[in-house]
Amino acid sequence: MLDVISLIAVAVVVVLYAVAGVLALTTGRAVPWQQGYLLRPRLWGSGALLFAAGMALARYGGMVRDLTDSDIVFATSLLMLISGGVLQYVAQRAGRLRNRRG
């Protein structure tokens, strides 16, 4: 039962993140929580899609029974997660801090 709940939770997060990535990629507009921080929203969108695909692949890798295949799937998903995060980081404006006071 816990496996099904985990699968549903990860699927919801992946779909929402992928929708945000597609929205930023196709329209060229930043998602509401990133407005003012993104210099290149299309780059952020492609990074979000890559990150969401990495999350989905990592969840699938947990269900693969063969140890060699599981290692390959997990390494690929880790590479996708890191690449997506780097693309999202590069898309942000330099010098913008979120929790700046004063």
Q: What is the mean pLDDT of the chain?
A: 87
Report the alpha-carbon distance of residue 34 to residue 46 in Å, rounded. 15
pLDDT tens, position by position, 85-96: 999 999 987 766
Task: Tell me which residue has tokens 């507009």.
Answer: 29
Per residue in 53-71, is it b (16+ CB within 10 Å) or e — as a string? bbbbbbbebeeeeeeeeee
Confidence of residue 31 (pLDDT cuts 50, 70, 90): confident
Which helix (H) or strand (E) segment holds residue 14: the answer is: helix 2-27
pTM (2 d.p.): 0.83
Residue 102 has what pLDDT?
44
